[in-house]
Amino acid sequence: MPNITHTLHDRIATLTWDMQDSKVNTLSSATLAEFERVLDEVLASDQSNAMEALVVQSAKPGIFIAGADIKEIEGLNEPEDVDMFVQRAHDLFAKLEGLDVLTIAVIDGAALGGGLELALACDVRLATDGPKTKLGLPEVHLGLIPGFGGTQRLPRLIGVEAALEMMMSGSPVDGAKAVDLGLADLLVNHELLAGDVELANDTDQSGDSDQSSGSRLESTIKEILAQKAQFKARGGALAGRVGENEPFAIEQAVQSGRVEAEKSPKLAQMALETLLNAVEKGAELNLPEALAVEKEHFKHVAVSDESKEMIQAFFASRKK
């Protein structure tokens, strides 16, 4: 059984994550490769020319994508291996980001770490008001920093100060707060959306299906499509340098972050300092160059003793 399926209905393509034999969806080398294959299949289909939107969603209740595969990261001991793992995600998310169609992440549940970073590569993020909807980048709790674009896309989207607060605390926000921050574009009622994912996932790839399938979600998407030009223009602007818009705010936010980092547990110091450096250096570059900075900084912490120790402690705590 596939982990990611796709449908095409009424000019809206839907890619649905539902990892087999797992309670959550995670980003591993294997699932990233599968996601790219499914994406390429959709783009190569006979109906792709008529496609107006591409939706990424999850069929798992309470979960969008929970993050990168921590066990795989734990097993990466050489910088070269980390480089390949991160670059695969960077290339795939850049492909997603560069599509002409409007890309929309529908987040009804936990979008953490790499899951949120995938959503950040989409043009639009819809978040529900469901109790399990949480958006966050908690990598510092594992002695890591976001490595799939989060250190660079998040500051460009919500500002350096708010982005650093999210990343340094590792604390997620709910759907309503995500909209307030500008992290999500629209808050969707969880109860109204609840049945749409299952219905949409039953849609035949040829487009022959009950016209009510996913109707509420499709109606919302069609409203968003009317603003496609604005969302695409925003994406183009966000690919530039953060420093063009708020050079003094960057310096102030980073300095404040370093003060806060000194108050944090000693074990997390390397990750926090590396995060601050990645944000500070990347803010002065265009997005492609900034992502290369992020990758180098992620490699530094991913092979560190600090990260290995914190990951082991994380798994030990889950066994209790």
Q: What is the dihedral of CA 109, 114, 120, 124, to 10 degrees?
A: -30
From the candidates 139, 218, 280, 294, give the one annotated as an active-site residue: 139
Percent of the chain at pLDDT > 90 equals 79
The model scores a pTM over 0.75: yes
pLDDT at 195: 58
For residue 247, pLDDT beyond 70: no
- The CATH number given to whatever domain includes residue 53 is 3.90.226.10
> Quick check: is 165 catalytic?
no
> DSSP for 72-118?
HHHT--SHHHHHHHHHHHHHHHHHHHT-SSEEEEEE-EEEETHHHHH
Active-site residue, selected from the candidate residues 117, 218, 294, 306: 117
Active site residue 36: no
State the residue range of the domain holding 281: 4-319
Residue 299, pLDDT above cutoff 70 = yes
Max Cα distance, the chain (Å) = 59
How many structural domains comprise the chain? Answer: 1
Give per-residue pLDDT as tens, 177-212.
999 999 999 999 988 776 555 554 554 443 433 433
pLDDT at position 215: 67
